[in-house]
């Protein structure tokens, strides 16, 4: 007898869903990103349990990209297996997104932003996941060598050909975003979302006006690395633990964890504990009160981390004093 998953009857009891910009698409306050821990070097059963746990808590949105792994493509293959084994009956309750924009195969057509690459990559992603369509397809990063019209019209074609329901852009700065919006609006493409890196320790897009622009234009905003790759959790309060990302040096460099940074993290942790939250819970609540942000994309390496984040969503209000104290630490 194989694995049988039946979703919790309570899955919609507590999660809050907000409209993605001015569209009819609603997203949960937190979404699950499959950037790490879903590759072919990771444990499949843990990956499946994380998707099931997330869905049981009302996390309906699962975010992938063609290059997620490690081994590019392997996160989509893992997710495809999970869809087949557990989630197939719930497909219409799910928002599944993927992206293309980084290197995927050799030669001039396996990277960047050409129509050739974007459409071919979308087809490969659908095949790996065993899906007829994705809900959101993103251009993963701007390509200065391809006219923006070409990349955006490729996204438009991906929707009109039935491969995706909505489109998005990721890692675009303010100018490139405005140029993309112009093309997508002119073609009435269902463009609903922008994805970028943002957290308490990296406030670039709050400062450059991007979030306000999205809010003004009625476009959803979703942010990745909301916990700064684990820095905004209790893992680094006493230095660098042996099993952490920083000790593995894959994405987070241990040299970047300075005494000054650890002091800030401890200061934030003190505010969080006064609020009755973990640092991770507060870091996500803080993001969700910023104008222009619809959802925070969390990563996880085990189901308990997802439960911890969701539990923290009940305390999303901040007093003016708390916000001022946080700003003072982050200065």
Q: Distance between CA 263 and CA 260 in Å, rounded?
A: 5
Q: Check whether 24 has a pLDDT greater than 60.
A: yes
Question: What's the pTM value of the predicted model, to 2 decimals?
Answer: 0.95
Among 99, 20, 100, smallest CA distance to 63 is for 99
Alpha carbon of residue 32 to chain centroid:
7
Look at residue 57 and give its three-state secondary structure: coil
In-domain check, residue 8: no
Q: What is the mean pLDDT of residues 179-194?
A: 98
Instruction: Tell me what pLDDT residue 247 has.
Output: 65
In-domain check, residue 2: no
Instruction: Tell me what pLDDT residue 243 has.
Output: 72
List the domain range (segments joined by +) for residue 103.
Answer: 17-330
User: Given pLDDT bands bounded at 50, 70 and 90, which one contains residue 4?
Assistant: very high
Q: Distance between CA 38 and CA 56 in Å, rounded?
A: 19
pLDDT in tens, 217-245: 999 999 999 999 889 998 888 877 777 76
In-domain check, residue 251: yes
In-domain check, residue 3: no
Q: What is the mean pLDDT of residues 139-167?
A: 98
Q: Check whether 295 has a pLDDT greater than 70.
A: yes
In-domain check, residue 282: yes
Percent share of the chain, pLDDT over 70: 97
Q: What is the mean pLDDT of residues 108-115?
A: 98
pLDDT in tens, 160-182: 999 999 999 999 999 999 999 99
Q: Distance between CA 56 and CA 12 in Å, rounded?
A: 8
Q: Check whether 127 has a pLDDT greater than 60.
A: yes
Mean pLDDT across the chain: 95
Q: What is the mean pLDDT of residues 116-143?
A: 98
In-domain check, residue 253: yes
Q: Check whether 278 has a pLDDT greater than 60.
A: yes
Percent share of the chain, pLDDT over 90: 90
In-domain check, residue 12: no
Q: Which residue has the higher pLDDT, 146 or 248?
A: 146
Task: Specify the number of domains making up the chain.
Answer: 1
CA-to-CA dists, residue 100 to 11, 47, 88, 96, angstroms: 31, 22, 24, 14
Residue 81 in tokens: 């297996």
Q: Provide the CATH number for the domain around residue 310.
A: 3.20.20.100
In-domain check, residue 5: no
Q: Check whether 155 has a pLDDT greater than 90.
A: yes
pLDDT in tens, 192-224: 999 999 999 999 999 999 999 999 999 999 999
Instruction: Tell me what pLDDT residue 268 has.
Output: 98
């Amino acid at each position: 007898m194989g694995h049988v998953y039946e979703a919790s009857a309570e899955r919609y009891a507590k999660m809050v869903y907000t409209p993605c910009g001015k569209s009819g698409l609603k997203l949960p306050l937190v979404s699950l990103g499959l950037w790490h821990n879903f590759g072919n070097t990771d444990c499949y059963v843990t990956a499946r349990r994380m998707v099931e746990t997330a869905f049981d808590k009302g996390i309906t949105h699962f975010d992938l990209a063609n290059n997620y792994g490690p081994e590019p493509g392997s996160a989509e293959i893992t997710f495809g297996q999970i869809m087949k084994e557990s989630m197939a009956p719930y497909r219409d309750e799910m928002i599944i997104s993927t992206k293309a924009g980084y290197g995927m195969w050799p030669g001039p057509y396996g990277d960047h932003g050409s129509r050739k690459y974007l459409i071919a990559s979308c087809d490969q992603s659908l095949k790996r996941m065993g899906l007829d369509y994705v809900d959101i397809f993103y251009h993963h990063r701007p390509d200065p060598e391809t006219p923006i019209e070409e990349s955006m019209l490729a996204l438009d074609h991906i929707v009109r050909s039935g491969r995706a329901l909505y489109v998005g852009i990721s890692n675009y700065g303010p100018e490139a975003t405005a140029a993309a919006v112009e093309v997508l609006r002119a073609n009435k493409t269902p463009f609903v979302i922008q994805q970028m890196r943002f957290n308490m320790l990296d406030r670039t897009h709050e400062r450059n006006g991007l979030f306000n622009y999205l809010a003004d234009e009625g476009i959803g905003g979703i942010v990745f690395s909301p916990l700064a790759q684990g820095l905004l959790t209790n893992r680094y309060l006493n230095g660098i633990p042996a099993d952490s990302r920083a000790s593995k040096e894959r994405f987070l460099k241990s040299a970047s964890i300075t005494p000054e940074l650890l002091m800030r993290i401890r200061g934030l942790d003190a505010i969080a504990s006064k609020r009755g939250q973990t640092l991770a819970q507060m870091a996500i609540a803080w993001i969700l009160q910023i104008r222009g942000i619809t959802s925070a994309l969390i990563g996880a390496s085990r189901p308990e981390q997802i439960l911890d984040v969701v539990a923290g969503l009940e305390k999303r209000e901040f007093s003016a004093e708390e916000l001022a104290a946080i700003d003072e630490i982050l200065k």
